[in-house]
Amino acid sequence: MLNTILNELNLSKTPPGEYSALTLAYLGDCVYELYVRSYLIKDGNKNVNTLHKAATKYVCCRAQAELYRKIEDKLTDEEKAVFHRGRNTKSHVPKNSEMKDYRDATGVEALVGMLYLKGEKQRICDLLKYIFI
């Protein structure tokens, strides 16, 4: 069913580079969280409260900023450019977040969103595996 919905959306009408950095981050946030949740259930059924607590360690802006530091030297020039677009976008920083971490997290989310729109699922997996290392 999800494939049907995604195919009907026909995301390819708009090239990924034409989306705003915040739109890419909006989508990338969802893809990132789905990746984390999928990873956490890879070994089977678990208590949902336990899963939620585990997920919050990885989906916070501090963890995403740390991920960027791990993958920074592995990014292509295009990926770096998208990250910088996301990082440099003006957005409201939540009270309990450091500005640098929040901006880096937005850059990571924009990068993931761009890769998703390009259909580069393997590249997303290759980069996001560093969350858990």
Could you tell me the pTM of the whole model? 0.87
Sequence spans of domains, the chain:
18-132
Q: Which fold has domain 18-132?
A: Ribonuclease iii, N-terminal Endonuclease Domain; Chain A (1.10.1520)
Give pLDDT, residue 6.
Answer: 52
**What mean pLDDT value characterizes the chain?**
88
Phi, psi at 86, each rounded to 5° = -65, -45
Residues 6+ positions from 121 with CB-CB distance below 8 Å: 115
Residues annotated as catalytic are: 29
Lowest mean pLDDT among 2-11, 15-24, 37-46: 2-11
